[in-house]
């Protein structure tokens, strides 16, 4: 298995192009199942999860074609051309779903278009149990008959789905997306109350509107959808990845450097900039992005709690913790979204961090310096937090299980190396 080796201590300076968001791309790809015309997605990041979703869609009968700009030029995403002229299978098998939980996003579209779907239950994962009850309950309210049989969600709506007023008892990004897609092709009006407001949900909603759906309240926690008989194809640019932008903002901050993050916007990463500014990091808008620096001054410990958008994202909690490891003073980091998302703590501790976990909070006491070590992590964001720690640590850090990073960060080593990081990938067998 590949490894990444980092020699820490170099401040990062330069520009990093932010890719299209993985967590927007995955539901957008699933939306191709709602129409027999071609859905073209531009600004598509090069990620293993995107390929996995492509394989799943192909398995349902969609034609999946990807075009990438030539390597070496400005780092821009590719184009995905997705055409589900006919659905040849309504089963999402265990082997694909277990690789990526977001596979469950085909449930709503398949059920709405074909009146049936059989989707493997995703099961738990490294960060928590992550049930899909909200997806199932919502679709049931829209007229689906759903049974759980042999590890599969077996759903049927022979007469089609009908509109419903659905109140989510808690905010769920995936359930909002699944039901939004289902409602777009259901009979009658639907209302999604206490819906997730993440920019990736809004990106999906805008794309659905371009496909002919009628949706009001985009960006709010109350989405009103008027169902359509059919939707058409469109061309849509995937929104920029705010988690990737936040991660590189923290890379600039942890190394005391200055980075221009291209193709992103301050309003997308506001929850992060507010917290980082308190920690002594500066942000300003540029013509095509955001400048972030910690040129002068030290990093200060600040408390942070993860929350649904517009709060501080759980997907940046591990990176924030790495940042706080060398800050002056202490930082209390509280995770409210997932019950087991502190897997990076013992690995950061192996690099010299001083962190005490009590239930859903971690108290990070800043230390003078971190030292490089062989480390590994069990999920994407935990892995990248170790990369951040490695960038500032003395000596070499060797990160194992790099496949987690490849699921969600488009050409991470190349982007960091271009800004002065000493980072290289050791291919299996090197
Ligand atoms: C999305 O996951 C993201 N994934 C996650 O990104 C992200 O961490 C998460 O939203 C929260 O922001 C994609 O967009 C593909 P949820 P999702 O449903 O939709 C509970 C990353 O690193 N819940 O909003 O699965 C659930 O267990 C990742 O890129 C239920 O109880 O998250 C969790 O505690 C990982 N029942 C909370 O809600 C349900 O039916 C929020 O989960 C659904 C969710």
Query: What pLDDT sits at residue 124?
Result: 63
The pLDDT of 181-186, averaged and rounded, is 98
Lowest-pLDDT range of 9-23, 59-73, 148-162: 59-73
The pLDDT of 19-42, averaged and rounded, is 98
The pLDDT of 357-382, averaged and rounded, is 95
- Interval 77-112: pLDDT, tens: 899 999 999 999 999 999 999 999 999 999 999 999
Distance 70 CA to ligand 1 centre (A): 34
Ligand 1: residue whose CA is nearest its atom 18: 172
Confidence of residue 1 (pLDDT cuts 50, 70, 90): confident
The pLDDT of 332-354, averaged and rounded, is 96
419 is catalytic: no
Ligand 1: residue whose CA is nearest its atom 6: 315
Q: What is the DSSP string of 106-146?
A: GHHHHHHHHSEEEEE----BTTB----HHHHHHHHHTT-EE
Minimal CA–CA distance to 377: which of 415, 349, 413?
Answer: 349
Query: What pLDDT sits at residue 377?
Result: 83
Statement: residue 168 has pLDDT above 60: yes
Report how far apart, in Å, the C-alpha atoms of 37 and of each of 55, 175, 212, 221, 244 are: 19, 25, 12, 30, 31
Lowest-pLDDT range of 37-46, 119-128, 198-207, 242-251: 119-128
Mean pLDDT (the chain, rounded): 95
Confidence of residue 194 (pLDDT cuts 50, 70, 90): very high
Distance 174 CA to ligand 1 centre (A): 6
Statement: residue 72 has pLDDT above 60: no
Ligand 1: residue whose CA is nearest its atom 8: 315
The pLDDT of 190-195, averaged and rounded, is 98
Query: What pLDDT sits at residue 289?
Result: 96
- Interval 396-420: pLDDT, tens: 999 998 989 999 999 999 999 999 9
The neighbour count for residue 356, using CB atoms within 10 Å, is 12
For the CA of 408, the closest atom of ligand 1 is 29
Query: What pLDDT sits at residue 70?
Result: 78
The pLDDT of 180-205, averaged and rounded, is 98
From 136, 173, 335, 406, give the residue whose CB has the most ligand 1 atoms within 8 Å, as the site to mutate: 173
* Whole-angstrom distance, CA of residue 190 vs CA of residue 164: 5
Ligand 1: residue whose CA is nearest its atom 43: 132
Of 380 and 76, the structure prediction assigns the larger pLDDT to 380
Statement: residue 161 has pLDDT above 80: yes
For the CA of 379, the closest atom of ligand 1 is 22
Query: What pLDDT sits at residue 141?
Result: 98
Catalytic residue among 125, 207, 325, 419: 125
Minimal CA–CA distance to 25: which of 91, 82, 74, 73?
Answer: 82
Distance 61 CA to ligand 1 centre (A): 27
Query: What pLDDT sits at residue 297?
Result: 79
Report how far apart, in Å, the C-alpha atoms of 78 and of each of 47, 50, 122, 419 are: 11, 11, 28, 23
CA angle 39, 41, 45 (to 5 degrees): 145
Query: What pLDDT sits at residue 75?
Result: 55
Ligand 1 pocket, Cβ-based, cut-off 6 angstroms: 23, 26, 101-102, 128, 130-135, 170, 172-175, 200, 314-315, 337-338, 380-381, 408
Statement: residue 69 has pLDDT above 90: no
Q: Helix, strand or coil for residue 251?
A: helix
Query: What pLDDT sits at residue 84?
Result: 98
């Amino acid at each position: 298995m590949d490894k990444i080796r980092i020699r820490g201590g170099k401040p990062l300076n330069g520009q990093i192009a932010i890719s299209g968001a993985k967590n927007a791309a995955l539901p957008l790809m699933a939306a191709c199942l709602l129409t027999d015309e071609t859905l073209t997605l531009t600004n598509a990041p090069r990620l293993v999860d995107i390929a996995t979703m492509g394989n799943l869609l192909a398995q349902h009968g969609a034609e999946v074609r990807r075009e990438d700009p030539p390597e070496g030029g400005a780092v821009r995403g590719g184009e995905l051309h997705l055409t589900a002229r006919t659905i040849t299978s309504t089963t999402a098998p265990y082997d694909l779903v277990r690789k990526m939980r977001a596979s469950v996003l085909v449930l709503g579209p398949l059920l709405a278009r074909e009146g049936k779907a059989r989707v493997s239950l995703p099961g738990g994962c490294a960060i928590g149990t992550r049930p899909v009850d909200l997806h199932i309950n919502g679709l049931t309210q829209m007229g689906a008959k759903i049974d759980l049989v042999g590890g599969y969600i077996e759903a049927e709506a022979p007469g089609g789905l009908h509109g419903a007023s659905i109140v989510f008892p808690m905010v769920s990004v995936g359930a909002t997306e699944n039901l939004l897609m289902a409602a777009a092709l259901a009979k009658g009006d639907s209302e999604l109350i206490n819906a997730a407001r993440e920019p990736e949900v809004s990106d999906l909603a805008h794309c659905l509107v371009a496909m002919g759906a009628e949706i009001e309240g985009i960006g709010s926690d109350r989405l009103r959808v008027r169902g359509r008989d059919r939707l058409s194809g469109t061309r849509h640019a995937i929104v920029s990845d705010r988690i990737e932008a936040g991660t590189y903002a923290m890379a600039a901050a942890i190394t005391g450097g200055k980075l221009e993050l291209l193709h992103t916007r301050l309003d997308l990463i506001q929850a992060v900039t507010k917290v980082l500014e308190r920690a002594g990091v500066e942000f300003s808008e540029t013509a095509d992005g955001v400048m972030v620096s910690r040129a002068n001054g030290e990093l200060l410990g600040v408390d942070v709690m993860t929350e649904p958008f517009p709060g501080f994202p759980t997907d940046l909690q591990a990176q924030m913790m790495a940042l706080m490891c060398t800050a002056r003073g202490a930082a209390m980091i509280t995770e409210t979204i997932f019950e087991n998302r502190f897997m990076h703590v013992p690995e950061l501790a192996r690099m010299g961090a001083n962190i005490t976990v009590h239930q859903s909070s971690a108290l990070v006491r800043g230390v003078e310096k971190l030292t490089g070590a062989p480390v590994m992590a069990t999920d994407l964001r935990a892995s990248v937090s170790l990369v951040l720690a490695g960038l500032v640590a003395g000596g070499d850090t060797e990160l194992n299980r790099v496949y987690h990073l490849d699921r969600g960060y488009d050409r991470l080593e190349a982007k960091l190396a271009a800004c002065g990081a000493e980072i290289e990938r050791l291919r299996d067998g090197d």
